[in-house]
A = this chain, B = another copy of it.
Amino acid sequence: MATKIIERLYNTDPELTYKPDLVKYETVHLPKITSYREELASKFPQETVLKPGLLADKGIEIPLDFESSVFKDGPKLAKASGFFTDRELEILELKAIEIIERIAAGEQTALETITAFIKQAAIAQQVTNCAMDFFPEEAFERARELDKYFAETGKTVGPMHGLPVSVKEHYAFKGKVTSCGFVSKLNDVEEIDAYITDLFKKTGAVYYIRTTQPQTIMHLDSFNNIIGLCRNPYNTALSPGGSSSGEAALVGMRGSPLGCGSDIGGSIRCPAAFCNIWGLKPTARRLSCLGSRSQFTKHSNEMILPTFGPMANSADDLELFMKVCSDSKPWLYDNYVLRMPWIKDVKFAIGDLKIAIVLDDGVVKPSPPILRALLLAKKALESAGVGKIIEWESFKTVEALEICYNAYTKDGNFNARAVLGASGEPLAPLTEHYMRFGTGDKKLSNLEIMECENRRDVLRQEFQLKMNERDIDFILTPAYFAPAGIPHKIKYWGYTAVYNILDLPGVSFPTGIKVNKSIDKKDVNYQPRNDMEEYEYPMYDEEVYDGMPIGLMLQGRRYHDEETLAAAKLIQEVISKASRT
């Protein structure tokens, strides 16, 4: 008989306190949603609409609609579509740091850059439904301004001059609706920019798209009632992950060279791993979160802290984001931010790295392709002369999750209920799941919370001492048991959320390894050890996942974001090289 951990981690009461008001929702709010969607759709250019049918000579079949199809060729569309010049295709392949270098050298204009990315974002939107907001005209105008400034002065306005940047919708954006996925907030026009949004604007970023997140921003999936489900660029029947769903899908399609996400339980690392891109969840408070919009408005929850963070197609671009933020000395303007300037010259030799690898977290065993990727990674690192690589023995995973889940619903869902209730919108299945985290609606007393916070502090210390005892600096781990999740079904956050409650920095990266249905067969004889594994493990199926790229994740020591990123870069080079041989 499998162990029961679901009752320990979730409030399994059949009834939730929240009751949707479908009459109010349908009469008052559905019309708003419809017009929001129509307006959004009207912003996308007609000339990049993909016509259903076979793309000439490319072997790619464009479906009648992407929503109900299994489409795996998203990332190939730019080249196949015929919508781009060769120069534009070249631009789409550039790293963010290459784009700004070229523009600063006068080799490329901001206008041609944003033109390419806007066209590609339009394709990404068709394939993945990643956008919550799109404003190409403003982007063109800003790009022209920047080009004019550069032509006249020979200077850039800042280190992001001309760089297209995409941003998760819940970053406050001045003058634009910032609903954070709540129907009731569809009319909320922001008066300020988030610190980071504003900073990047000032340093020359060109904004053109804001991307989707799930209802309550608390799923490792993507559904909200405003724009619906976002899809994975590598397989539209799979989830792009969440909650930075739209960023991952867009960046994964190379519709943006640099995305702004956020993470409190895996929301950067999980979608980055699902969509074959890079994502950094910094240690909390290294970045300003001023202007982060969510259900929490008048209640602070420091039991677990969210963080913003970058998503991109290279480690260097993640670092660019961190450097630009750090160079602005955010701690002088946002009291929340730690005064920890980004250390710019961290470099490792492979022999310096001491790593533990998680082949199983003890709760949900990794699916066959993930396990194969981990073992390949281990072997590749050993061959490359890694300083040390040991298997990580699972350490208090369930206890960490118990504390973590109590933290998420510390307010007994008071705030979520308020913002949801304002429109009466129905709950997505994974919102119901989230509202059952910890003790769910039945909030803990203040003293119980203080005790739980003490358990968290003790656990953080124990975990650190365990890393010291095992003499390792990094943990190489899956981001999820499978290469991506099934929409509406992803319930297990264990591979990522543990590092949120521990407040350790983490980087997701593409391995170059792909699911191969002939070798990564479902283990049908596996006996799940607990009810969570019983739920999750059977969801992997080699037929569904065939061809999916596999991402992994590197977690580091608290506040050692620089080292974690530098190590991830090195490790990724080793693994992806091995994946090609």
Interface residues of A (CB under 8 A from B): 298-302, 331-336, 338-340, 410-412, 414, 443-451, 453-454, 456-457, 460-461, 463-465, 468, 557-560
Contacts and interface: CB of A to CB of B under 8 A. Distances in A.
Contacts of A338: 338, 340, 559
Contact of A340 (B333, B334, B339, B461): B339
Contact of A468 (B333, B414, B446, B454): B333
A498 to B, nearest CB: 14
Centre residue among A301, A411, A446, A451 by max chain B CB count within 10 A? A446
Given A300-B457, A456-B300, A339 B558 contact: yes
A520 to B, nearest CB: 38
Given A332-B468, A557-B332, A410 B450 contact: yes
B454 A559 contact: no
A114 to B, nearest CB: 34
Contact of A464 (B299, B335, B558): B335
Contacts of A414: 447
A454 B335 contact: no
Contacts of A446: 410-412, 443-446, 448-449
A463 B335 CA distance: 9
18 contacts: A299-B447, A299-B450, A299-B453, A300-B456, A300-B457, A333-B468, A334-B464, A335-B460, A336-B461, A338-B340, A338-B559, A339-B558, A339-B560, A410-B446, A412-B447, A443-B446, A444-B446, A446-B449
A445 B447 CA distance: 9
Given A338-B340, A340-B338, A559 B450 contact: no
Count of chain copies = 2
B443 A447 contact: yes
Nearest to A462: B335
Given A332-B557, A333-B464, A446-B446, 9 more contacts: A299-B450, A301-B450, A302-B302, A302-B453, A333-B468, A334-B464, A444-B446, A445-B446, A446-B448
Given A558-B331, A559-B331, A300 B460 contact: no
Contacts of A412: 446-447
A410 B559 CA distance: 29
A451 B299 contact: yes
A270 to B, nearest CB: 24
B454 A300 contact: yes
A470 to B, nearest CB: 14
Given A299-B451, A450-B299, A450-B301, A336 B444 contact: no
Nearest to A467: B332
Nearest to A557: B332
Contacts of A463: 335
A462 to B, nearest CB: 9
A339 B556 CA distance: 13
Nearest to A301: B450
Contacts of A336: 457, 460-461
A17 B464 CA distance: 40
A541 to B, nearest CB: 40
Contacts of A560: 339
Nearest to A448: B446
A522 to B, nearest CB: 39
B558 A450 contact: no
Nearest to A334: B461
Contacts of A465: 333
A396 B448 CA distance: 31
Contacts of A456: 300
Contacts of A299: 447, 450-451, 453-454
A460 B334 CA distance: 9
Contacts of A451: 298-299
Contacts of A447: 299, 411-412, 414, 443
A569 to B, nearest CB: 20
A572 B320 CA distance: 42
Centre residue among A333, A335, A444 by max chain B CB count within 10 A? A335
Nearest to A446: B446
Contacts of A449: 446, 449
B332 A450 contact: no
Nearest to A303: B302
A513 to B, nearest CB: 33
A464 B451 CA distance: 31
A61 to B, nearest CB: 52
Contacts of A444: 446
A453 B302 CA distance: 9
The 5 closest A-B pairs by CB, nearest first: A339-B559, A299-B450, A300-B453, A300-B454, A335-B460
B450 A411 contact: yes
A412 B453 CA distance: 16
Contacts of A460: 335-336
A411 B334 CA distance: 29
A294 to B, nearest CB: 13
A457 B560 CA distance: 25
Nearest to A299: B450
Contacts of A298: 451, 454
A412 B448 CA distance: 12
Contacts of A464: 332-335
